[in-house]
Structure 1
Amino acid sequence: MFFRGLFEHTIDAKGRTSVPARFREVLTGNYGDRLVVTTAFDRCLHVMPLKNWEALEARLGQRSSMEPGVKQIYRTYVANATEADVDKLGRILLPPNLRAWAELTKDVVWVGQIKQMELWSKAGWEKASADALSVDHEQDIARVFREIGG
């Protein structure tokens, strides 16, 4: 099972947001309730099952930390990663630094990304999704679909 779809939610005053029910089903059936949340380069948050995060860490650990790209991943992606448990009400607590990075205040959008999820501010998602559908990205999208036979 994969994470797919788009779900609008809110963040409460304590920084908690509900994981969409559909995503919780995928988690419960395949991964458990432990997540890792970290910054993404697009001013959103990446949210993934702990199991997937650990696999990513293992692959990164095989690379030299002296490589400039690896060093930057450690300093941004890994350094900001935090574990989050889904509570009995289906919510996770987002730390202030991650909320600030993604400009999450009230209205948020959860976006399925097959093996992980993204968490966007509503305004950020509207801009990013409009940009993704622009003519500038048509050739990139078409190339990927050709490569995967879609």
Structure 2
Amino acid sequence: MSYLTGEFECKLDAKGRMMIPAGLKKQLPEADNEGLVINRGLEKYLVIYTKKEWDKKLDELSKLNEYDRNSIKFVRYFTAGATNLQPDTAGRVNLPKNLLDYAGITGDVVLTCMLNKIEVWDKAAHQEMINNEPENFAELAELVMGNKGRGRDE
């Protein structure tokens, strides 16, 4: 599997359209044919998936217990606002106003590639998030990644 890489600054035009940066577009060859899906993130940002990755998310969600209240709530909030994006002939996508409002995006955005998805941040909110990097990133790395490889012959 190929993962997405990079961070890109973009501007929205008055109609809420965003040009997909050339460096990102090269990593999304299927976007012109299959489109993309944008949705709310788990915090105040948006997430863009390829159609293929979005379908994988839906497959995961379809396995949850449809009678469990927490599962129902999670699926409801996770999928709320999900919108198909189809790049126009100029390579722009129109970001839905309700999602822009949710994320507090007003004009300048930062696209951050996160493995198999793209986070869409308001530029100021992204800078604030970056400025709040954990004081000791090494401790976080050890906590999250420290057990990787244990139990294998090294």
Give the TM-score category using the shorter length. 0.7 to 0.9
Give the gaps of 5 or more residues in structure 1: none
Q: Which has the larger radius of gyration?
A: 2
CA displacement, residues 37-89 of structure 1 (integer Å, 9 cap, x when unaligned): 00012100010101100011011101112334422332222121010011222
Q: Kindly indicate which of the two structures has a greater share of residues assigned to helix.
A: 1
Separation in 1, partners of 2:67, 2:137? 33
List aligned pairs for 1:65-104, cutoff 5 A: 65-104=66-105
> Secondary structure in 2 aligned to 1:135?
coil
Cα shift at 1:95: 0.8
Matching residue of 1:142: 142
Secondary structure of 2:28's counterpart equals helix
Residue 108 of structure 1 corresponds to which residue in structure 2? 109
Instruction: Determine if the alignment matches structure 1 residue 20 to structure 2 residue 21.
Output: yes
Whichever residue aligns with residue 19 of structure 1, its letter is I
* CA deviation after TM superposition for structure 1 residue 26, in Å: 1.2
How far is 1:138 from its partner? 4.5
Counterparts of 1:6 and 1:60, CA distance in 2: 28
Alignment of 1:18-57 (within 5 A): 18-28=19-29, 31-33=30-32, 34-57=35-58
Q: CA RMSD in A?
A: 1.8
Aligned AA for 1:37? I
What corresponds to 2:4 in structure 1?
A: 3
TM-score normalised according to structure 2 size? 0.86
Q: Which residue of 1 aligns with 2:152?
A: none
What is the CA–CA distance in structure 2 between the aligned matches of 1:14 and 1:116, rounded to whole Å?
24
The CA deviation at 1:136 is: 6.3
Unaligned ranges ≥5, structure 2: 150-154
**TM-score w.r.t. structure 1 length?**
0.88
Checking the alignment, whether the CA contact within 8 Å between 2:134 and 2:140 is kept in structure 1 is no
